[in-house]
Amino acid sequence: MLTTTDLPGIRLLTLNDPQRRNPLSPALTKDLLAALDAAEQDPAIRAVVLTGAGPAFSAGADLEFLKQVTTAGAEANYAHSRELMRLFHRVYTFSKPTIAAINGPAVAGGAGLATACDLVVMSEQAQIGYTEVKIGFVAALVGVILVRAVGEKHARELLLTGKLVSALEAYRMGLVNRVVPAEQVLEEALALAQEVAANAPTSLALTKELLNALPGMGLEDGFRLASIANAWVRETGDLAEGIAAFFEKRPPRF
């Protein structure tokens, strides 16, 4: 179950199945994809915050679903895998900033969902881990973005041990941006979302596109793409407004 709450410029998406620790079920995956589509199409929404209801962010796979995976058949399992891939890819490449507020344990697929976000605020009491290897699974999808997030050596340690790490260890590895007391997690994430959302929407979207593309490009191709982006953004209304506001000494109206 997913709960949607709108704040000025921000859409808060809450994984809301606290009794089961907010599992990333097929139904929730579909709900999240639909919610992201709606948020992207709404010009009033400048950023999205993801969090969990109750004591957990997300404990990963739905246990009832997990019981069926070894007998579901190749086609059904591939369809589910592709849907989960769509979710991680959608969050990672979303045109508007995404912030995860990890209020409690983020495990397996739940850890992957948080990792896919642009920024992560984590409770100092929470843990995060990619525990798939402990039950014979592979954290294949999240591995694609985890290597980008923390580098190869940290990714190898996290994926091969399957261990849960503390918030401070996650911060040291570069998995999260901020660690705060549990009661401040959502407040801090929303404040960070407001700070980011105050910037020019066109600039944010283009910056995200560059950040997605550059790690896989060589030096010359990277600079070439960056020069095109640098030139293109000069033709946008956001830049015109930003420059006008700068010289008029007023806040920009993006």
Active site (catalytic) residues: 132
Cα(157)–Cα(160) distance, rounded to whole angstroms? 5
Listed in order, strand segments (DSSP E) in the chain are 2-7, 10-15, 47-52, 98-102, 106-107, 119-123, 127-129, 164-166, 178-180
Query: How many whole angstroms separate alpha carbon 201 and alpha carbon 187?
Result: 22
Return d(Cα 153, Cα 132) in angstroms, integer: 18
Residue 93: what are its φ and ψ, rounded to 5°?
A: -105, 10
The tokens describing 185, both together, are 């997690």
Give just the sign of the alpha carbon dihedral 243, 248, 250, 254: negative
Strand 164-166 and strand 127-129: pairing? antiparallel
